Amino acid sequence: MPASSDLLVLRDKLRVFADARDWDQFHSPKNLSMALMVEVAELMEHFQWLTEAQSGALATQNKAAVAEELADILLYLIRLSDKLGVDLREAALHKLEKNAAKYPADKVRGSAKKYSEY
């Protein structure tokens, strides 16, 4: 199944999930964006105080918890994009093209500098 179909399936499942619970009334872009940020903060908690090496080698239990936070983030992001009428796949592909123009590989390879700094 193509990635765009996967996103649409998730979008539709989220619609059904929210509708069954009468939660659509709470799913304004403002509320969804705030919920998204809460989930991102919860993801960050799993990495707080870890070294770079530790953050890349999580224990199985920690990796499972991180996977759940990533899932929450993805679900809120899909729900928010649905409420705003944004085609998330199209937006991501467009942004990737813009980033490729901002950060030409031959100029920025191996550098963490912002595009305006090179």
The verdict on residue 94 lying in a domain is yes
The verdict on residue 57 lying in a domain is yes
Domain that holds residue 41: 3-109
Distance CA 92, CA 10 (A): 16
The verdict on residue 15 lying in a domain is yes
- How sure is the predictor about 2, in pLDDT bands with cuts at 50, 70 and 90? low
Residue pLDDT, tens place only, 51-96: 999 999 999 999 999 999 999 999 999 999 999 999 999 999 999 9
CATH code: domain of residue 61: 1.10.287.1080
The verdict on residue 117 lying in a domain is no
The verdict on residue 51 lying in a domain is yes
- How sure is the predictor about 1, in pLDDT bands with cuts at 50, 70 and 90? very low
Question: Using CB atoms within 10 A of its CB, is residue 66 exposed (0-12), middle (13-18) or buried (19+)?
Answer: middle
113, 72 Cβ separation under 8 angstroms:
no
The verdict on residue 73 lying in a domain is yes
Domains identified in the chain, total number: 1
Unique residue bearing structure tokens 């500098």 = 113
The verdict on residue 116 lying in a domain is no
The verdict on residue 18 lying in a domain is yes
